[in-house]
Amino acid sequence: MSNGAPAVLPHHNQPSVDQSDRFVPINLRQTGPTPVEMLISTRIRKSPYWHLSMAAGCWRAEVYNRVYHPRGYVRPEDGGAMAEYEALVNDVTMWNVAVERQIQVKGPDAEAFVNFVITRDATKIPVMRARYVILCNEDGGILNDPVLLRIAADEFWFSISDSDLMLWLQGVKVGQSAFDVKITEIDVAPVQIQGPRSVDLMTDLFGTEIASLPSYGLMESTVAGLPVVVSQTGFTGEKGYEIYLRDATRHAEEMWNAVLEAGRPHNLKVVAPAHHRRVAAGIMSWGQDMDAETLPFQVNLGYQVPRTKEADYVGKAALERARALIEAGSPPFRMVMVGMRVGGKPIDDYAPDFWLVRQHPDAAPVGYLTSPWWSPELGTNIALGYVPVELSGLGTALAVDLPDQFADVAGRPVEAEVVEVPFRPSVNPNTRERLKERGLDSAV
């Protein structure tokens, strides 16, 4: 180059996947792990449990909701993420999920405001119950998919996934000044208690009434004398709960240590969020499996867009237009998410790239995986990923590019097949699974 700078060569894989229906394409370059040291600074928040996670052996982390997020406790040489998986499916585990920042909407018009920003009907959520919900922008793109807790008639908590929902909610409030509500983040930090022995541990902490807490039910209680809200929710499909500690900045140690002590008889382990188990349950991760350019209908969340909700809400017009186009056979998108069984050797850690999907091994890439993992129960790799609508039918044969350490033959795509999601029944079925059992899981 004339300025003396070295030429930038094209990366060996700048794939041909058509993303012309997106403003910002997903980066599909295959760069591999590219390990770097995480800088710990004051620009990113440390949660109240951060030092406790370090004491429990956390060795790697990422950033989620502008908070440092523990993502590994068992070292690879000791079994890594799959050893943590064994603790989850056999015993009971505790996760530091304080990155689920709690955004409180409180005031006389709290119900009306929440009903305006979520696609589901907030008026049907009883006090002391929770719901999985989505919030969409004016184009119908998914901004966040939190668990919504209704603490009181005039108070809701958004337990948010990985996007800064508070700023958006406050912006909506500015544009809709008729709503008499206050929107703020509160000092509440959850941990998750997940696994088949979770009910035994929770009974020791809260008494026998915890066993009758329904799915997405809430209760007020205490741990070590500290006020908490308990929900029967989780990110796994296993039996599980979340404990939301109030005034968490002050009292993190007391609650954390009390849970550890109660967990000793039940073989409690502190582990990272089990993405391998949430994939089997068909639970998606915002930013990885969907984002603000994804319509609910692309990711099997059509049930979150009820036909019967009369009240207006952000994104309603766009979503109704999209549904009409889908029903007319002209969907306003090229790609949809599917579940896939994927060949190759066990994928036993997080994928650093969106691995490419082809119609057959010698064809050009047409899609990509978002969440691949090995399933010990099924004895195969499973994945969520995007393929063109015309390749989304159950039983469709595909091929997937895996890194050489997972491929059967280095440099050769492995076989894959579109299959039903969830990949295996959940102990604690989510809403989509329950609707499917009733024959009400239509994409539109």
* Concatenated DSSP letters of 27-96: ----------PPPP-TTSBPPTTHHHHHHTT--EEEEETTEEEEEE-S-GGGTHHHHHHHHHHHSEEEEE
Place of tokens 């794939």: 15
Residue with tokens 């996760």, as numbered in its chain: 95
Q: What is the pLDDT of residues 354-391, one digit of tens each?
A: 999 999 999 999 999 999 999 999 999 999 999 999 99
pLDDT band at residue 16 using 50, 70 and 90 as cut-offs: confident
- Cα 331 from Cα 322, distance rounded (Å): 7
Residue 42: phi, psi to the nearest 5? -85, -5
Q: Which amino acid is present at 324?
A: A
CATH 3.30.1360.120 domain extents, the chain: 188-266, 280-437
258: helix, coil or strand? helix
- Look up residue 163 and give its amino acid: S
pLDDT value at residue 177: 85
Amino acid code (one letter) for 30: Q
CATH architecture of structural domain 280-437: 2-Layer Sandwich (3.30)
Domain 188-266 matching CATH 3.30.1360.120: the answer reads yes
Residue 165, classed as helix, strand or coil, is helix
Query: What tens digit of pLDDT does each residue of 95-148 get?
Result: 999 999 999 999 999 999 999 999 999 999 999 999 999 999 999 999 999 999
What would the pLDDT profile of 247-289 be if each residue is shown by its tens digit? 999 999 999 999 999 999 999 999 999 999 999 999 999 999 9
